[in-house]
C-alpha cells in the first residue's frame, strides 16, 4: 500500500518548517492565508498588493528535509495550485526537487515543473515523479516568479508518497444529471492514474441495477495523469425513469487494482419528457464600505443586461444600511469571506464578480439541463403580496429533496446617510476602467449613488421553505407554495422583483431561478377574491372590460403606469350581481399598467397591457 514520507496541508497556520526567501527584496513573501471558499488554509504569494500595487515576486518556499532512504516503489511529489483572482490568473511558478536545500542548487535542478496556472474552477492537481531519488534525502522548492500585476498564487496539500504499481482512481462519472427520453448519452468517466505504472487497459462496468454493461478499454495514462474514458455502451431509455447508475473499475492492466477503495462511483440519472428553461442565479457579496465592490456592481449589471432572461442577479449587502443579516451571513457561509465575492447557483463558489469571471460562471451553469419550469404569480391586498411559486416537473422522483424559496430584490435604491456613500478604489483610473467609476471620487456621495438588484428579503429562508415540494413527484406534477410579503412604505412596488428559486437540499445548490416584477406576477393570476373579478381583453387597445361576477357594493378603480403615476381614477357605486364595465383607455400610450380595484377595506390588483 502507499506510504507517505512528507505531507503539509498548512492547517497548522504557519510556515515555520519551510525556509522562505524573498529574492526580489520587496518584503512580500509566502505566508499562510484562508482567502477563498474553494480551499481552507493554504500557502500564498502575491504578485499584486492593494497598497503597493503591482509586484514582481521572486519568492522561494523550500521544504524541510524529506527522507527517502527507506522508500520503495514509485514515489511522487504531489500538490494543488490555484490562482486567487480568476480575472487575473496568469500566475507563473516553478517547482524544483534536489538533494540540497540552497536555492542555487534547487534552481539548477533538472527535476522541475513550471506552469502559468491560469483560470480554473477549483484547485488543480499537479505532480512530479521523484522515484529516481529513492534512497536519498530531498528538498522541494516552490518559486513564484516571472509574473507581475496578477494577484495571488495559492499552493496546498503538498505530499511526497509512494504509490502502488497498478492503481486507478475513478474520479467521476461524466453523464448529465437529466436526459431526454429516447436520447443516447455517452457514458464517460474520469480516471486518475494514482499508480506508478502507465495504464494501458481498464476493465470497466456500469449498471443501473437491472442492466449491466462491461468492457475492456484500451488507453494510455501515464503515472499521475488523468484522462476521460468513454464506455462503448451509451445510456438510452425509452421511457421516463429514475436510475442510480454505478460505475466500477474492476481491472487495471489485466490485473486486480492494488487499491480497490477508490474504484467505484454512483450517480443519479433521470429521463424527462422535455427540458425546462434554465436561468442562472448570481449572488454577489458587496458593501458600500468595500472599495473594490464597484467591480461587482459593474459585473452584475453587465450580466443582467446581457442575459435578461437567463440571469437573475442579487446584490447581497454587508455592513451598510442595505444589509439583510440573515441573507448576508448565509451567503458568506456558502461562497466564503472576502468582498467583493460571488457565487453562481451556489455551485461555483468564490467567484470574483468581475465581468469575465461572471461570464465564465454563467457559461458553465447555463448549459445545465433542468427538469422543471418555474413560474410566479401574485395577488395584492393593500401593501400585502401573496406570492405563489410554482415548479412544474417533467420527470419523476421517488425521494425528491427540493425546496421552493422566494427572494425580494429592489432597484433604484438610494439613501441620504453616509452609509450610502460608496468607497471607490477605481477613482482616478489607476486600476483601469470600471464602468465610469474611474471618473468618480474615492468616496462617491450618497446623492450620486443608485443601487440595483438589492436583496431585500428571504421568504422561506436561505435554504428554502421546508415541505414546499413533496418527496414523491410524478412527471407533469406541479408543486406550489404561497409566500407572504408586505411592501414597505419606503419601497416603490415598481422597483421590486420577486425571485423564485428551486433548491436541491442534497448540496444546497440552485436548480433554476425565475425573476418577475411585481406587476408581471400580478398579471399571471386573475384578479379574484370575494368578487371574482376578471379583466379582458388583455392586451387591450381602446377599452378594457371589468367583469364583476358577484358585484356587491361600491368600487374605486385606479390605473397607474409603471412609474407609479395615476392615469385613470373612477368610482362605481351600487354594483350588485353580474356586472360588466367598459373602461375607456384610448388616451393611454402603449405599455404596461396596473389596475387596482378597491371595495371598502379590500384591494385587488392586476397588470394589463395596452397595445396600439
- The DSSP code sequence of 10-42 is STTS--TTSEEEETT-SS---EEE--STT-SSE
C-alpha closest to that of 298 among 451, 75, 445: 451
Same fold, 4-162 and 280-521: no
pLDDT reported for residue 380: 86
Inform me whether the pLDDT recorded for 525 exceeds 60.
no
Question: DSSP state, 253?
Answer: T
380 cis-preceded (ω within 30 degrees of 0): no
User: Could you tell me which CATH class the domain 168-272 is placed in?
Assistant: mainly beta
- Tens of pLDDT, residue by residue over 353-374, are 999 999 999 999 999 989 999 9
Does pTM top 0.75 for this prediction? Answer: no
Question: What value does the mean pLDDT take over residues 114-138?
Answer: 92
The backbone torsions φ and ψ at residue 294, rounded to the nearest 5 degrees and listed phi first, read: -55, -25
Mean pLDDT of the 136-160 span: 96
Please give the pLDDT value at position 519.
Answer: 81
Confidence of residue 35 (pLDDT cuts 50, 70, 90): low
Per-residue confidence (pLDDT) for residue 531, from 0 to 100: 45
User: Between the CA of residue 108 and those of 102, 136, 390, what are the distances in Å?
Assistant: 10, 18, 65
**Mean model confidence pLDDT for the chain:** 91
Give the class (CATH, top level) of 527-610: mainly beta
* Most confidently modeled range among 468-472, 491-495, 537-541: 468-472
Average pLDDT of span 57-69: 98
Averaged pLDDT for residues 587-592: 82
pLDDT (average), residues 163-175: 91
Domain ranges, ordered by start, for the chain = 4-162, 168-272, 280-521, 527-610
User: Would the pLDDT of 41 be above 50?
Assistant: yes
Please state whether 503 falls in left (phi above 0), alpha (psi between -120 and 50) or beta. beta
Instruction: Give the architecture-level CATH label for domain 280-521.
Output: Sandwich (2.60)
Local confidence band at 36 (pLDDT 50, 70, 90 cut-offs)? low
Count Cα neighbours of 321 within 13 Å in the Cβ-side half-sphere: 12
343 contacts: CB under 8 Å, gap ≥ 6: 282, 283, 331, 334, 335, 349, 350, 351
**Lowest-pLDDT range of 88-97, 586-595, 596-605:** 596-605
The CATH number given to 4-162 is 2.60.120.200
* pLDDT tens digits, 291-309: 999 999 999 999 999 999 8
| 306, 299 contact by CB (below 8 A) | no
Tell me, what's the pLDDT at 340?
94
**pLDDT at 450 exceeding the cut of 70:** yes
When mean pLDDT is compared across 169-183, 401-415, 535-549, 579-593, the lowest value belongs to: 535-549
Mean pLDDT of 314-334: 97
CB 604 within 8 A of CB 379: yes
**What was the pLDDT predicted at 594?**
81
Instruction: Give residue 91's pLDDT.
Output: 97
Confidence of residue 528 (pLDDT cuts 50, 70, 90): very low
Cell of 299: 459585473
The 10s digit of each residue's pLDDT in 236-265 is 999 999 999 999 999 999 999 888 899 999
pLDDT > 90 fraction of the chain, expressed in percent and rounded: 70
pLDDT at 527: 40
**Percent of the chain whose pLDDT exceeds 70:** 95
Cβ atoms of 557 and 572 closer than 8 Å: yes
Residue 573 has pLDDT above 90, yes or no: no
Tell whether the model's pLDDT for residue 120 goes beyond 90: no
Q: What is the pLDDT of residue 288?
A: 98
pLDDT at 596: 82
Using 50, 70 and 90 to split pLDDT, how confident is the model at 551?
low
Average of per-residue pLDDT across 174-196: 92
Residues in a beta bridge with 599 = 602
| Coil, helix or strand at residue 498 | strand
Give mean pLDDT, residues 129-137: 95
Among 429, 370, 414, residue whose Cα is nearest residue 395: 370
Chain-centre distance for alpha carbon 212: 35
The mean pLDDT value for 139-155 works out to: 96
Which residues pair with residue 124 across a beta bridge?
Answer: 81
**Residue 234 to residues 177, 581, 597, Cα–Cα distance (Å):** 14, 62, 58
Q: Is the pLDDT of residue 529 over 70?
A: no
Residues 6 or more apart whose CB falls under 8 angstroms from that of 98 comprise: 105, 106, 108, 109, 111, 138, 139, 141
Amino acid at each position: 500500500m502507499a506510504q507517505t514520507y512528507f505531507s503539509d496541508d498548512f492547517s497548522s497556520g504557519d510556515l515555520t518548517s519551510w525556509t522562505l526567501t524573498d529574492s526580489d527584496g520587496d518584503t512580500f513573501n509566502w505566508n499562510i492565508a484562508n482567502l477563498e471558499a474553494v480551499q481552507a488554509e493554504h500557502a500564498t504569494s502575491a504578485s499584486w498588493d492593494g497598497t503597493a500595487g503591482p509586484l514582481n515576486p521572486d519568492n522561494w518556499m523550500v521544504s524541510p528535509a524529506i527522507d527517502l532512504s527507506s522508500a520503495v516503489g514509485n514515489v511522487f511529489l504531489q500538490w494543488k495550485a490555484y490562482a486567487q483572482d480568476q480575472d487575473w490568473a496568469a500566475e507563473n511558478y516553478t517547482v524544483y526537487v534536489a538533494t540540497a536545500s540552497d536555492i542555487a542548487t534547487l534552481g539548477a535542478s533538472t527535476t522541475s515543473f513550471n506552469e502559468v496556472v491560469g483560470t480554473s474552477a477549483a484547485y488543480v492537481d499537479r505532480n512530479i515523479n521523484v522515484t529516481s531519488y529513492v534512497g536519498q534525502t530531498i528538498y522541494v522548492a516552490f518559486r513564484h516568479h516571472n509574473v507581475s500585476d496578477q494577484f495571488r498564487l495559492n499552493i496546498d496539500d503538498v505530499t511526497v508518497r509512494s504509490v502502488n504499481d497498478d492503481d486507478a482512481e475513478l474520479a467521476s462519472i461524466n453523464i448529465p444529471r437529466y436526459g431526454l427520453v429516447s436520447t443516447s448519452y455517452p457514458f464517460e468517466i474520469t480516471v486518475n492514474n494514482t499508480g506508478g505504472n502507465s495504464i494501458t487497459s481498464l476493465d470497466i462496468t456500469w449498471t443501473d441495477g437491472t442492466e449491466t454493461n462491461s468492457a475492456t478499454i484500451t488507453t494510455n495514462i501515464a503515472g499521475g495523469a488523468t484522462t476521460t474514458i468513454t464506455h462503448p455502451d451509451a445510456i438510452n431509455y425509452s421511457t421516463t425513469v429514475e436510475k442510480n447508475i454505478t460505475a466500477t473499475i474492476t481491472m487495471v492492466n489485466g490485473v486486480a487494482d492494488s487499491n480497490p477503495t477508490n474504484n467505484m462511483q454512483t450517480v443519479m440519472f433521470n429521463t424527462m419528457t422535455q427540458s425546462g428553461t434554465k436561468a442562472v442565479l448570481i449572488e454577489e457579496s458587496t458593501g458600500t464600505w468595500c472599495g473594490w465592490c464597484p467591480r461587482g456592481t459593474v459585473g452584475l449589471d453587465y450580466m443582467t443586461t446581457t442575459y435578461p432572461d437567463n440571469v437573475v442577479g442579487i446584490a447581497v449587502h454587508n455592513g451598510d444600511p442595505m444589509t439583510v443579516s440573515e441573507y448576508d451571513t448565509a451567503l458568506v457561509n456558502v461562497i466564503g469571506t472576502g468582498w467583493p465575492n460571488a457565487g453562481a447557483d451556489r455551485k461555483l463558489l468564490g467567484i470574483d464578480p468581475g465581468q469575465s469571471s461572471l461570464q465564465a460562471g454563467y457559461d458553465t451553469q447555463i448549459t445545465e439541463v433542468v427538469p422543471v419550469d418555474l413560474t410566479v404569480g401574485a395577488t395584492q391586498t393593500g401593501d400585502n403580496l401573496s406570492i405563489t411559486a410554482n415548479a412544474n416537473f417533467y420527470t419523476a422522483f421517488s425521494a425528491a429533496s427540493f425546496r421552493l424559496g422566494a427572494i425580494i430584490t429592489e432597484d433604484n435604491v438610494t439613501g441620504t446617510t453616509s452609509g450610502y456613500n460608496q468607497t471607490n478604489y477605481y477613482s482616478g483610473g489607476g486600476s483601469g476602467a470600471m464602468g465610469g467609476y474611474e471618473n468618480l471620487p474615492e468616496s462617491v456621495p450618497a446623492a450620486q449613488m443608485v443601487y440595483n438588484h438589492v436583496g431585500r428579503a428571504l421568504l422561506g429562508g436561505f435554504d428554502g421553505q421546508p415541505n414546499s415540494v413533496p418527496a414523491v413527484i410524478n412527471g407533469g406534477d406541479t408543486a406550489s407554495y404561497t409566500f407572504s410579503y408586505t411592501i414597505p412604505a419606503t419601497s416603490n412596488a415598481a422597483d421590486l422583483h420577486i425571485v423564485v428559486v428551486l433548491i436541491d437540499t442534497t448540496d444546497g445548490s440552485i436548480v433554476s431561478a425565475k425573476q418577475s416584477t411585481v406587476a408581471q406576477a400580478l398579471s399571471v393570476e386573475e384578479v379574484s377574491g370575494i368578487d371574482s373579478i376578471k379583466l379582458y381583453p388583455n392586451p387591450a387597445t381602446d377599452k378594457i372590460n371589468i367583469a364583476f361576477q358577484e358585484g356587491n357594493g361600491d368600487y374605486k378603480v385606479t390605473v397607474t403606469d409603471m412609474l407609479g403615476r395615476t392615469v385613470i381614477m373612477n368610482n362605481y357605486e351600487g354594483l350588485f350581481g353580474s356586472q360588466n364595465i367598459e373602461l375607456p383607455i384610448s388616451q393611454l400610450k402603449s405599455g404596461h399598467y396596473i389596475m387596482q380595484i378597491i371595495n371598502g377595506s379590500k384591494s385587488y390588483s392586476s397588470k394589463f397591457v395596452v397595445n396600439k
